[in-house]
Chain A
């Protein structure tokens, strides 16, 4: 069935469909059944599946991550939700030292460890330093974890279903501004983990994007198109495992590349992408791989500073112009950050 729905509904549909298909799937985490339902992404689940399979937790991420691990070891398929990825840092020991390597440490005696950790990332309203992280680079540094970042309703739906069905632990990161994005979702369309997606074709420059940066990249590509520059957008989608082949194929053709990762660029996933792209496209690259991401500071609170901290379509246009040797186009009449107006909170 095809429907035009919001990203948040795509997530709740994926959860409902998997919970219907498999009684061992359950969803838990702080605020999962409250009136806001994690930005609506767990809406309807409590009513349909009851409090045994959809429940709130104490404010104790370490213990609750341990509970997810225990449940998975006992044969269930837990989906643990963090309303901020920052709070997952409190469960880091469970995630890194227990979950990520248990299959390896037991020599495969523990044959599967199906845990999905959903976490909300990114910008809201003045979220400051402790409610705004992304952290995909940290998670991707640890062997044994899969890391997924959907950017469209279809991917949110299909990748969440694939993550729940995967027998490995999966970190599933959702930018909160994406919840409003509307798109067609075909529930028969499966998207396996581990594949990037060319979201827009172009011949002049490749924009390799994660999460919200795809939205900014589309805006940037529209602006660049006005001056005849055709930008190709590759949505990484699967941070780990990484589909390097699709990315390299694009850059080998365009010869220019901007890596737009929604995180601190420094020593993060953007660096990994830049290193791999430079290595894999050494002969084709006409300019260095440029990284666009967060400034290397804690996230500020005030809007003027946030606007400097977070990259936007404008940042991407300027970076593309530098790489292509073009003058700066006039963007004074352009509106940016439009999604901030759409964002209804709660936080």
Chain B
């Protein structure tokens, strides 16, 4: 049995970065405030002190430059881990990500395969207002050429980040900041990786399939518990890997339950929930006993005062579950 320690998600991510920096001398960490300050959320704390300001360095407030630089480093054979301080700030780097980073392997016939991991805190739940709460995962999932991951706890965070760092692909690593310090869990002290295309079944059930990821995974679990009080047996799936995502596990579950509810924080229209529903109805059309439902953020900018209403919570998820179950 591997040695374990009890960590929150920030500490688990920090541990992954530390292990990787130690093992891989070509690894670099860059971003706004990641060096001297250790990151606004402290994910990179201590790394500059340990590995020096050459390998762990602060950048100007220029996201297009951060991603462009990371891409250049990747092309030169280094393994950069760049932090976008908040996912909301990623848009200045959009061209670099969508038109350059995501395309390099394909455009060069795999002559250039930049290994770049972009970490970015995402989502609401910390009273951050519109510019510190967004969930832009659908844009990256929609863009061919990127892996997109979102952990839901410390164990998943470390295993997925190490998996991403060890792999050959550009990765968008989204960290639900609401969970950063909210959950502590036992995490192996050493190196381990989680597969980059597997969902986790958090709870087995027969009556309906509830799919969530990131900060919505704990909310989904709570909704399943509430549904149990009403006499329903809900299966909860935490996707973890959004692109590619584990359609097989999802379809397998829906073939058993016949009912599906998907949950995410981002606005509904053209969100990832649309893909999940569209894909499941393609694969399990005849088995569906009710139309799948989406519980999501609303189609508005992220509100500051109405945050608790905007974010799907256990009550809203339960409501959708009951509607689906009673269809």
The chain A residues found within 8 Å of chain B, CB to CB, are 62, 86-87, 89-90, 92-93, 95-97, 100-101, 104-105, 128-130, 133, 137-138, 140-144, 240, 242, 264, 266-272, 274-276, 278-279, 282, 285, 287-291, 296-298, 300
Contacts and interface: CB of A to CB of B under 8 A. Distances in A.
Report whether over half of chain B's contact residues are helix, strand or loop; otherwise say mixed. Answer: helix
Contacts of A105: 130, 301
> Which 4 pairs of residues, A with B, have the shortest CB-CB distance?
A274-B278, A93-B91, A101-B301, A92-B94
A218 B145 CA distance: 32
Contacts of A95: 91
A288 B282 contact: yes
Given A89-B95, A92-B95, A143-B301, A274 B281 contact: yes
Given A92-B91, A130-B103, A140-B269, A271 B275 contact: yes
A278 B270 contact: no
Given A264-B142, A282-B291, 20 more contacts: A87-B95, A101-B130, A105-B130, A105-B301, A129-B103, A129-B107, A130-B99, A138-B270, A144-B300, A266-B141, A267-B138, A267-B141, A267-B243, A272-B269, A275-B273, A275-B278, A289-B281, A291-B282, A297-B106, A298-B145
12 contacts: A129-B99, A138-B139, A141-B138, A144-B300, A264-B144, A267-B141, A267-B272, A271-B277, A272-B278, A296-B144, A298-B144, A300-B106
A93 B94 contact: yes
A143 B141 contact: no
Contact of B292 (A87, A89, A144, A275): A275
Contact of A141 (B271, B290, B301): B271
A279 B292 contact: yes
A138 B266 CA distance: 12
Contacts of B277: 271, 274-275, 278-279
Nearest to A87: B95
A104 B310 CA distance: 15
Interface in B129-166: 130-131, 138-139, 141-145
A268 B103 contact: no
Nearest to A93: B91
A141 B269 contact: yes
Interface residues of B, number: 46
A268 B270 contact: yes
A148 to B, nearest CB: 15
B88 interface: yes
B294 interface: yes
Given A271-B275, A278-B291, A282-B291, A141 B270 contact: yes
A279 B275 contact: no
B326 interface: no
Contacts of A288: 281-282, 285
Contacts of A276: 274
Contacts of A97: 88, 91, 131
B299 interface: yes
B258 interface: no
A271 B281 contact: no
A137 B270 contact: yes
Interface centre among A95, A271, A276 (most CB of B within 10 A): A271
A310 to B, nearest CB: 14
B123 to A, nearest CB: 15
A297 B144 contact: yes
A96 B91 contact: yes
Nearest to A280: B291
A96 B281 CA distance: 31
Nearest to A287: B285
A128 B107 contact: yes
A296 B273 CA distance: 18
